[in-house]
Amino acid sequence: MAILQTLGVASCLGGPMRLCGYAAEMLHDEFARQKPEQKRLDLQWHMIHPEDHGSKEEKLSGLNKSISRFTQQWTEQSQPFLVIGGDHSCAMGTWSGVLNGLQQPGKFGLIWLDAHMDAHTFATSPSGNIHGMPLSALLGRADTRLAAMYPGSAFIKPENLILIGVRSYEDEEYDLLKQAAVEIVFASQINKLAQVLIKAIDKLSLSCRAIGISIDLDFIDPEDAPGVETPAPGGIKAEQLIEALSLINRHPKICGLEISEFNPEKDSKNKTLYLMKDIIEAFYGETLQ
Ligand SMILES: [Mn+2]
């Protein structure tokens, strides 16, 4: 069984709640409970925590830097990886690290599965929560305050970014993405997720050498994934996501997967925790004989 490098980010500094920092630890324990014959994956865990001192923004800046060091190294070594947030602001670290590690950052594509657009800046965000801003930073369209938390100088080309599953957003972030001409597939436009995801990968494969997938668990319908920070009704069924991810299992261009925004306090009977595990196994797991 190949080793999958896994980074746990024990932080929820970018969100409104205080509990989404526990996802990685809980998931680690869940995998550790598996019997050897159930194992489809060999996860090599690395855990990082924010510093104790400094302002929230200084802590996030340091944390994103640490995340990016891991993903840069794995990208340089062509090792596929898994990042478990934390709130979704960890995406600034994860994908800037990949961009830093690629010889041609212009050939990196990102698929963003999320109920929200996450394309605010401090100037437009009604809440000021940084988990609603990572895409502006990744596109190089951040304001100075947000840019200070982004660990790198390479950005995603707008034509290499595809948002899927959006159903809750503010006009200002939509304007930012429209101006950049980023492709958005709204939840209401999705009939079969597998088709949408494969189409996105095929499109990105034409121009990109490496493709990443970032999953915000609120992409899934709250009925199937209640344990999230900011639930939005009308999401994709968990079953559809698992089916779609199984179809692209170990796709040669995939460099990494990120899962974010798990909130155990809102979970019901560990439904969302188990779903995270199913997502990882569908995407990276080897088929059991
Ligand atoms: Mn998000």
* Phi, psi (degrees; rounded to nearest 5) at 34: -65, 140
Active-site residue, 58 included: no
Is residue 78 in some structural domain? yes
Mean pLDDT for 113-142 is 97
**Dist. CA 115 → ligand 1 center (Å):** 7
| Structural domain boundaries enclosing 208 | 3-284
Residue 141 lies in a domain: yes
In a domain, 289, yes or no: no
Q: Is the residue at 101 inside a domain?
A: yes
* Separation of CA 37 and ligand 1 centre (Å): 35
Catalytic residue (one of 116, 173, 229, 281): 116
Active site includes 251?
no
User: What is the pTM (predicted TM-score) of this model?
Assistant: 0.97
For ligand 1, an ion, list residues with CB under 5 A: 88, 114, 118, 216
Q: Is 107 within the bounds of a domain?
A: yes
pLDDT of residue 68: 98
Confidence class of residue 155 from pLDDT cuts 50, 70 and 90? very high
| 276 belongs to a structural domain | yes
Quote the CA–CA distance of 91 and 191 in Å, as a whole number.
27
H-type helices in 20-55, by residue range?
Answer: 23-32
Could you give the CA distance from residue 248 to residue 204 in angstroms, rounded to a whole number? 14
* Active-site pick, 87, 218, 221, 258: 218
Count: domains in the chain: 1
CATH number of domain containing 115:
3.40.800.10
Q: What is the DSSP letter of 247?
A: H
Distance 77 CA to ligand 1 centre (A): 28
- What's the rounded Cα separation, in Å, for the pair 31 and 150? 31
Residue 218 designated active-site? yes
Nearest-5° Cα angle at 21, 15 to 22: 145
Residue found by looking up tokens 């500094």 in the block: 13
Residue 263 lies in a domain: yes
Please give the sequence-ordered ranges of beta strands (E in DSSP) within the chain, or none if there are none: 3-9, 42-48, 81-84, 108-113, 161-166, 183-186, 210-216, 254-260
- The Cα-based distances of 127 to 46, 118, 170, 274 in angstroms read 31, 12, 11, 30
Which residues, other chains included, contact 187 with Cβ-Cβ below 8 Å and sequence gap of 6+?
115, 165, 166, 167, 234, 235, 236
Are 217 and 263 in contact by the 8 Å Cβ rule? The answer is no
Residue-wise pLDDT tens digits, 52-92: 999 999 999 999 999 999 999 999 999 999 999 999 999 99
CA dihedral sign of residues 254, 256, 259, 260? negative
Neighbours of 80 (CB within 10 A): 21
Phi, psi angles (nearest 5°) of residue 8: -100, 125
Q: Is residue 195 part of a domain?
A: yes
Task: State residue 163's pLDDT score.
Answer: 98
Give the count of alpha carbons within 13 A of 106, CB side only: 0
Determine the distance separating the centroid of ligand 1 and the alpha carbon of 1, expressed in angstroms. Answer: 31
User: Is residue 146 very low, low, confident or very high in pLDDT (cuts 50, 70, 90)?
Assistant: very high
